Amino acid sequence: MSSVGAVRGPAFLTRSLVFTPSHIHHRAGKTSRQDPALAYRIFLDLHRNIRRSLDPYKTHARAMHSSPRTAASATRATSPSAIPHISLHIAASSSGKGRKYRPELSTFDYQSNSANGLGLQRGSTLEEKRSNRPDSGQDAYFVTQVGQDSNTTAFAIADGVGGWTDRGIDPADFSHGLCSHMAETALSWPEDERLTPQQLLEVGYKKTISDPSIQAGGTTACVAVTQPDGQMRIANLGDSGFLLLRLGTVHQYSNPQTHAFNTPYQLSLTPPEMIAQALIFGGMPLNDKPDRADLADYTLRHGDVLILATDGVWDNLNSQDILSIVSNTMRTTGAWLRSPGQGYTVSPVLFELVDRSLATQKHKLPGSLQSILAAAIVGEAKTASMNSKRDGPFAKEMQKHHPFDPWHGGKVDDIAVLVVIPVDESKSQKSGKIRAKL
């Protein structure tokens, strides 16, 4: 999450600072244009397979918005029965600001039977933890099971507030620390108590601000917990967010929370001396608590595609851009089938495509379906961010709020994506039996 002038500064925000960015014309990037399917095609041409890893921390638009809580609750109450025996197949991909995107080194499959998961920081010192992080810059993520239940999954994405760099603070320490503490909390959660994303965010935040290695910082967060029957509760604080796609349509979407343009809700830790300065000179640091997160309940269905991403994606791609990337990839790989007059249906081979070994050996893909989708979205967002002639969602909002000092092109930033594909295990087993008989 990069800063635009003082707009994303972590402390002492006044109206003048919020609405008068100081270096709006400082741009980075080059001109390029890419259709939404190109990132996927390039990814398919890679000769090296995506590295499968339980832990990347070891060495080696936004035009659409979510329904209010009341509407979400009503949707849940009237929705069809939850799918039993749901399994989640998850991949993460990321690219740090100003660095070349290498999907084969920055994309990871999550193994649901792992006791460690993705996102746990490794190392005894802060420097060791920093050196072992994935190439995601100030963005962070985690995926892990809840307690000893491999069928209950928690996952999240976070975006460190870049304005803290003006105070000599690395925002990545706070965002990565929050995700690591949430992952540890989920793994140690007692079996007899149901975990909610707001609880996870609350406990993770308390551990983060009590962590002696983290002096200050701020972050947004989008946190989800899913049950074995496909029920999902998701909490979103700030302008990271999610998009739920179902058979070629946008089914649900998150609403960014902002105090003002380009000033998202954020968890933060402010040193006492900064607070004292604020009391003297006026203005107070932004510090939104976990209970301010928007909450929603949804049912994940067989063949859905759920995307969690930071604003490095949402500032450069809108919902329809992402739908186009995902739909093209799902059709090309055979995960979604399309018939005249009937629209999309879920392919009987979906369970093979989300299995990395079957996807690479039987279907000749460079990785699992979820990892291909994650890399395609990151690749397209990266390309759009460096295109000075393609106005993305951020540029259009800038032109609306600052018509006399407009922004054109993409917005260079850190990018991180989680892609989740739910699979109904009973349908997978049935499909396997049918093929065996044939």
DSSP 354-414: TSHHHHHHTS--SS-HHHHHHHHHHHHHHHHHT-TTS--HHHHHHHHH-TTS---S-----
User: Which residue type is seen at 37?
Assistant: A
Q: Is residue 6, in this structure, part of any structural domain at all?
A: no
| pLDDT tens digit sequence for 249-271 | 999 999 999 999 999 999 999 88
Which helix (DSSP H) or strand (DSSP E) does residue 330 occupy? helix 319-333
DSSP 45-71: T-SSPPPP-S-TTS---TT--PPPHHH
| pLDDT tens digit sequence for 385-423 | 999 999 999 999 999 999 888 889 999 999 999 999 999
pLDDT of residue 119: 87
In whole angstroms, what is the distance from residue 414 CA to residue 359 CA?
29
Provide the b/e sequence for 12-39 (b: ≥16 CB within 10 Å): bbeeebbbebeeeeeeebeeeebebbbb
Q: In this structure, what token pair is assigned to residue 179?
A: 């995700």
Q: Is residue 228, in this structure, part of any structural domain at all?
A: yes
pLDDT of residue 322: 98
Q: 196: buried, middle or exposed (CB in 10 Å: 19+, 13-18, 0-12)?
A: middle
Q: Is residue 279, in this structure, part of any structural domain at all?
A: yes
Q: In this structure, what token pair is assigned to residue 390?
A: 């393609």
- pLDDT above 60 (res 436): no
DSSP state of 156: E
- pLDDT above 80 (res 33): no
pLDDT of residue 140: 97
- pLDDT above 50 (res 28): no
Task: For the chain, give the percent of residues with pLDDT over 70.
Answer: 77
- pLDDT above 90 (res 220): yes
Around Cβ 265, how many Cβ atoms within 10 Å?
22
| pLDDT tens digit sequence for 72-86 | 444 444 444 444 689
In whole angstroms, what is the distance from residue 192 CA to residue 171 CA?
35
The residues that bridge with 64 in the sheet, in sequence order, are none
**CA angle, residues 230, 379, 267, in degrees to nearest 5:** 60
What 3-state DSSP class applies to 176? helix
State whether the Cα torsion 354-355-356-357 is positive or negative: negative
- Average pLDDT of the chain is 82
In whole angstroms, what is the distance from residue 131 CA to residue 151 CA?
32
| Contact criterion met (CB below 8 Å) for 367 and 107 | yes
Q: Is residue 1, in this structure, part of any structural domain at all?
A: no
Picking from 298, 175, 171, the residue whose alpha carbon sits closest to that of residue 237 is: 175
Q: Is residue 5, in this structure, part of any structural domain at all?
A: no
More confident call, 171 vs 22: 171
| pLDDT tens digit sequence for 123-155 | 888 888 888 889 999 999 999 999 988 899 999
State whether the Cα torsion 26-29-33-36 is positive or negative: negative
| pLDDT tens digit sequence for 34-47 | 444 444 444 444 43
pLDDT of residue 42: 44
Backbone angles phi, psi at 227, to 5 degrees: -100, 165
Q: How many domains does the chain have?
A: 1
Backbone angles phi, psi at 99, to 5 degrees: -120, 150
What 3-state DSSP class applies to 4? coil
**CA angle, residues 368, 237, 307, in degrees to nearest 5:** 20
Q: Is residue 7, in this structure, part of any structural domain at all?
A: no
Q: How does residue 272 score in pLDDT terms, banded at 50, 70 and 90?
A: confident
Taking each helix axis from N to C end, the angle separating 197-209 and 171-187, rounded to the nearest 10 degrees, works out to 130
Q: Which residues touch 193 (CB under 8 Å, ≥6 apart)? A: none
Q: How does residue 274 score in pLDDT terms, banded at 50, 70 and 90?
A: confident
In whole angstroms, what is the distance from residue 268 CA to residue 13 CA?
14
Q: List Cα–Cα distances, 105 to 53, 99, 436, in angstroms.
A: 10, 13, 36
363 torsion bin: left (phi>0), alpha (psi -120 to 50), beta (else): alpha
Picking from 291, 333, 295, 294, the residue whose alpha carbon sits closest to that of residue 419 is: 333
pLDDT of residue 423: 96
pLDDT of residue 36: 42
Q: In this structure, what token pair is assigned to residue 232?
A: 């999902």
Backbone angles phi, psi at 375, to 5 degrees: -65, -35
Question: Structural domain of residue 410, as residue ranges?
Answer: 15-437
More confident call, 359 vs 83: 359
* CATH code of residue 204: 3.60.40.10
Q: Is residue 378, in this structure, part of any structural domain at all?
A: yes
User: Which residue type is seen at 251?
Assistant: H
pLDDT of residue 314: 98
Q: Is residue 8, in this structure, part of any structural domain at all?
A: no
In whole angstroms, what is the distance from residue 66 CA to residue 302 CA?
21
pLDDT of residue 431: 61
pLDDT of residue 40: 44
Q: In this structure, what token pair is assigned to residue 248?
A: 């070629």
pLDDT of residue 59: 38
